[in-house]
Amino acid sequence: MKMVIAAIACALLVLFAIAGSSYGSYTVTHLNTTVTLNKNTSAQVTEVLTVFVSNSSVNQYETNRIALNLTLSTWQGFIGPLLVQHIINPKSGVYNFKYLPGPLVPQYNGGVAKLIMSYYVNNVTSVKQTAPREFVYSFNKNVFNFEHATSGEVLPANTTLTIILPAGSQISAIYPIPDAPVANFTSGYSNTTQFSWFDGEPLSKFTLVFIMRESLTAEVTGFFTGVYNALGVFSYIIIAAMIAGLIAYAYAKSR
């Protein structure tokens, strides 16, 4: 009988020890991924995770936030698999990565914080010149790194994906239809350069094609910039020779 009582007592001690342990509790309530496309086919990505931190983890979060030696993988151990780059080129990765855990805003039973990741990705789009001063850009859907379902890649719950096109872009094709903004009945997405999709949207057949048209001034500037990048200071000599040749030709024609 004494042995049974002793065994029960030991079991209770173990249970109390487990109950008294403090485990981190973090819940991601929303993910906002914003992709700003550049003309050179790269993109700047900003991801904001809104996280609820329970009372038992408030002190841990505050300590981790000011720590200087914690890596992203360490933070992933606290937050979970959603703390990852969702736009990534498998061939080149990301660069200029920055991670900023925001201040904790107290709430009932804990607090809310925003975790911000900012980075750049190459070859998010491809570009093809289809006419003088006209360029067609196509989004590379292989850079998506979201949830995989049986039907293919989808935006997970409580997620917003926003893509911002370069100024002056004109949409040629887009799928799935953005959740925001709503297309105008007559003009479609004319003069619209920012589009958002919400959780549940399928990405396996994602399509985004847009057209950019350069002005004549931009084309001339781009030409001389390309010449300079290729030839360096010798480009000035070539340009001077061309100008001298034009002057000589004009002078000869006038005589």
One domain for residues 155 and 242: no
Determine the structural domain holding residue 226 and report its residue range. Answer: 216-246
- CA of 235: how far to CAs of 169, 219, 222, 238, in Å? 32, 17, 14, 5
Residue 20 counted as domain residue: no
- Calpha distance 124→142 (Å, rounded): 9
Residue 200 counted as domain residue: yes
pLDDT for residue 4 is more than 50: no
One domain for residues 118 and 241: no
One domain for residues 190 and 241: no
Residue 5 counted as domain residue: no
One domain for residues 149 and 238: no
One domain for residues 237 and 121: no
pLDDT for residue 223 is more than 80: no
One domain for residues 105 and 159: yes
**Average model confidence (pLDDT) for the chain?**
84
Domain count, the chain: 2
- Calpha distance 40→202 (Å, rounded): 27
Residue 3 counted as domain residue: no
This prediction has a pTM of: 0.76
One domain for residues 96 and 58: yes
| Cβ burial, residue 41 (10 Å; 0-12/13-18/19+) | middle
One domain for residues 65 and 150: yes
pLDDT at 225: 55
One domain for residues 193 and 138: yes
User: Residue 141: which residues within 8 A CB-CB, separation 6 or more?
Assistant: 203, 204, 205, 206, 207
- Calpha distance 230→74 (Å, rounded): 45
Residue (of 125, 46, 122, 126) closest to 88 by Cα position: 122
pLDDT band at 215 (very low <50, low <70, confident <90, very high): low
pLDDT one-digit tens code per residue, 27-61: 999 999 999 999 999 999 999 999 999 999 999 99
pLDDT at 186: 61
One domain for residues 193 and 234: no
Query: What is the residue whose two structure tokens read 């997970």?
Result: 156
Residue 164 counted as domain residue: yes
pLDDT one-digit tens code per residue, 71-128: 999 999 999 999 999 999 988 889 999 999 999 999 999 999 999 999 999 999 999 9
pLDDT at 241: 74
